[in-house]
Structure 1
Amino acid sequence: MNATIKTGLPKADRAEVANALSKALADSFQVYLKVHGYHWNVRGENFFSAHNLLEQQYTEIWAALDDLAERIRALGEYAPQSHAAFANLTSIKDGDASQDWEAMFRELMRDHETVIATLRDTIKVASDAEDESTADLCTQRLAAHEKHAWMLRSTLGGK
């Protein structure tokens, strides 16, 4: 981008932080897709509570995706926007709608843990660049994904 950005962060630092944020965005988007898909396809004796828990999670994550993408833009970089771009940035695999609710929840719990690790890495990159805004945003997202993982883990009986 050609616009002069005067935030106190050098262009190279902004680009490095934006790259880390792009991975966090891709992981978050992939988890959003999987949680939403499992919401549609979950079944079993606890259908209603599982369906509602997943709806709460995908709704919260959906709202956060915009915050992550807009922070990338505020840093002067373009946010990834295609499935191909997200696929190249994330290690989270597509879900399997045929599995039972427990397998879905175990998989989602691990996926949230992947996002947690990515966010911790992004916080480090942002902190090293003295980008408090990005570190703060990622800290908020970290808390949300830790809570999502906890909810899934508790529903599984702590398994």
Structure 2
Amino acid sequence: MKTAIGITDAHRQAVADVLSKILADETVLYIKTKNAHWNIEGADFYDKHKFFEAQFGQLDELIDNVAERIRSIGHYAPATMKSYLSLTQLTEVTGQRNDSKGFITELLEDHQSIITALREHIKSFANDFHDAGSSDFATGLMETHEKMAWFLRAHLK
């Protein structure tokens, strides 16, 4: 059955394409946060192990929400690592040591990159594609990433 939600097919496709990139970024960041959780070393191991666990839990929920948003506008969500790596703006390569500062710095940079991209998408969803729902959705994602980035940044002070 046709998706008739007041957004043209072309605009829904454009929004789904952007959301697929966001989904890829969220998934790569999730994996990188899992890496930090699993491989953290140092005197603060337990504290940071738990901290990263809380962060990847939040990202898991975001991933599901993004995929469901893609489905709700009538498209299929990408669901392979190959597709995520081709769509993401992030890199999965880590150059840091397995300590708190290295992991936190890298994850913070990724969150900030996602925040910057989301800020632009908020405008284009509403203005270019006439999709207030996806604009509002992206605003919520951005706010979540801003809070997660704040928590990461606070550890670097």
TM bucket, shorter chain: over 0.9
Q: Which residue of 1 aligns with 2:103?
A: 104
Q: Which residue of 1 aligns with 2:66?
A: 68
When the two structures are aligned, how many residues end up with a matched partner?
Answer: 155
Equivalences for residues 127-138 of structure 1 within 5 A: 127-128=126-127, 129-138=129-138
Question: Given residue 99 of structure 1, which amino acid in structure 2 is its aligned partner?
Answer: N
Task: Say which is worse superposed, 69-78 or 119-128, in terms of deviation.
Answer: 119-128
Task: Say which is worse superposed, 24-33 or 69-78, in terms of deviation.
Answer: 69-78
Shift in Å at residue 148 of structure 1? 1.1
Q: Which residue of 2 aligns with 1:125?
A: 124
Q: Which residue of 2 aligns with 1:139?
A: 139
Give, in whole Å, the separation in 2 of the partners of 1:153 and 1:100: 15
Gaps of 5+ in 1: none
Shift in Å at residue 93 of structure 1? 1.4
Identity of aligned residues (%): 35
| 8 Å CA contact retained: 2:97, 2:103 | no
Q: Which residue of 2 aligns with 1:82?
A: 80
Equivalences for residues 18-37 of structure 1 within 5 A: 18-37=16-35
Give, in whole Å, the separation in 1 of the partners of 2:138 and 2:54: 20
Give me the CA root mean square deviation. Answer: 1.4
Describe the superposition over 1:87-135 as per-residue Cα deviations: whole angstroms up to 9, x where unpaired.
Answer: 1111211254743221111000001011112222321221122212111
* TM-score (norm. length: structure 2): 0.92
Gaps of 5+ in 2: none
Equivalences for residues 28-67 of structure 1 within 5 A: 28-67=26-65
* TM-score (norm. length: structure 1): 0.91
Q: Which residue of 2 aligns with 1:153?
A: 153
